[in-house]
Amino acid sequence: MSTYIRIIPCLDMKDGKVVKGVNFTNIKDAGDPVEIAKVYCQEGADELVLLDISATVEGRKTLLDVVSKVAKEVKIPFIVGGGIGSIEDIYNVLNAGANKVSINSAAVKNPLLIKEASKQFSDNCIIVAIDAARNNERNGWDVYINGGNTNTGKDVIDWAKEVESLGAGEILLTSKDRDGTKNGYDIELTKAVAESVSIPVIASGGAGSLKDFYDVITEGKAQAVLAASLFHFKEIEIGELKKYLKEKGVQVKL
Q: Could you give the CA distance from residue 12 to residue 82 in angstroms, rounded to a whole number? A: 9
Residues pairing with 29 in the sheet: 19
CB count within 10 Å of CB 250 equals: 16
- Kindly state the DSSP code that residue 5 receives in the 8-state scheme: P
Tell me the C-alpha distance between 97 and 95, whole Å: 5
What's the per-residue H, E or C state across 36-93? HHHHHHHHCCCCEEEEECCHHHHCCCCCHHHHHHHHHHCCCCEEEECCCCCHHHHHHH
Residue 97 CA to residue 63 CA, distance in Å, equals 12
Q: Supply the residues annotated as catalytic.
A: 12, 131
Nearest to 129 by CA among 95, 89, 88, 83: 83
Q: Are the C-beta atoms of residues 12 and 231 closer than 8 Å to each other?
A: no
